[in-house]
């Protein structure tokens, strides 16, 4: 936390589980879709692309969760201090946060499916929220727990992709 940051912002850290954040963003996207200009994308193309992107996202989610299970560490994003192992293999060689990448892909697929201008902002809002209120405190906890090992991993692997 910086000295200029409000206590209210800090109070939001690690408070809402990321899948709930994605659900809230997705619901907001759905509610906003009729309010914006429609995008002229043929339904079969739109549906196919949306499903393909969402399936890629689901693959990231499953691969990330399996990596944590194999390492026998917590999958609970609300308590990063309880992490018992730094997972750097498998999908974690591509992204430090594959489960968040997965949720982002699912939201991107949903935005494409909704075919309206306003829902396109949803994935960006998800990235901003998760980056500030979930990933930043997680990374502070991992840096405190794993020190140089986490610093080396962070220098080598991107936060998203």
Digit-coded pLDDT (tens) for 31-74: 999 999 999 999 999 999 999 999 999 999 999 999 999 999 99
- Average pLDDT for the chain: 95
Q: What is d(CA 33, CA 48) in angstroms, rounded to the nearest whole number? A: 19
With CA atoms as reference, report the closest residue to 111 among 150, 155, 57.
Answer: 57
DSSP letter string, 66-117: HHHHHHT----TT-GGG--S---SGGGGT-S-HHHHHHHHHHHHHHHHHTBT
With CA atoms as reference, report the closest residue to 133 among 11, 4, 23.
Answer: 11
Q: What is the tally of structural domains in the chain?
A: 1
Enter the tokens of residue 140: 């502070």
The confidence score (pLDDT) of residue 8 equals 76
Structural domain contains residue 118: yes
Structural domain contains residue 111: yes
Structural domain contains residue 161: no
The parent domain of residue 48 ranges over 42-156
Structural domain contains residue 55: yes
The confidence score (pLDDT) of residue 10 equals 87
With CA atoms as reference, report the closest residue to 27 among 122, 121, 120.
Answer: 122
Structural domain contains residue 108: yes
With CA atoms as reference, report the closest residue to 89 among 104, 71, 72.
Answer: 71
Give the angle 118-122-124 at the CA atoms, nearest 5°: 115
Low-confidence ranges of the chain (pLDDT < 50): 3
DSSP tag of 37: P
Structural domain contains residue 17: no
Structural domain contains residue 81: yes
Structural domain contains residue 30: no
Q: Is the pTM of this model over 0.85?
A: yes
**Do 142 and 66 contact (CB within 8 A), yes or no?**
no
The confidence score (pLDDT) of residue 9 equals 80
């Amino acid at each position: 936390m910086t000295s200029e940051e409000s206590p209210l912002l800090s109070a939001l850290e690690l408070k809402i589980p990321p899948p709930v954040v994605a659900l809230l963003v997705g619901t907001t996207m759905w509610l906003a879709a009729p309010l914006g200009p429609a995008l002229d994308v043929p339904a079969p193309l739109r549906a196919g692309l949306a499903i393909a992107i969402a399936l890629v996202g689901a693959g990231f989610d499953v691969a990330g969760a399996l990596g944590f299970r194999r390492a026998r560490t917590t999958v609970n994003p609300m308590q990063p201090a309880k992490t018992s192992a730094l997972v750097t293999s498998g999908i974690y060689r591509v992204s430090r946060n594959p489960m968040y990448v997965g949720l982002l892909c699912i939201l991107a697929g949903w935005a494409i499916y909704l075919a309206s201008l306003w829902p396109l902002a949803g994935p960006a809002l998800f990235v901003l929220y998760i980056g500030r209120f979930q990933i930043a405190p997680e990374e502070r906890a991992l840096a405190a727990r794993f020190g140089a090992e986490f610093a080396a991993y962070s220098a080598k692997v991107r936060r998203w992709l």
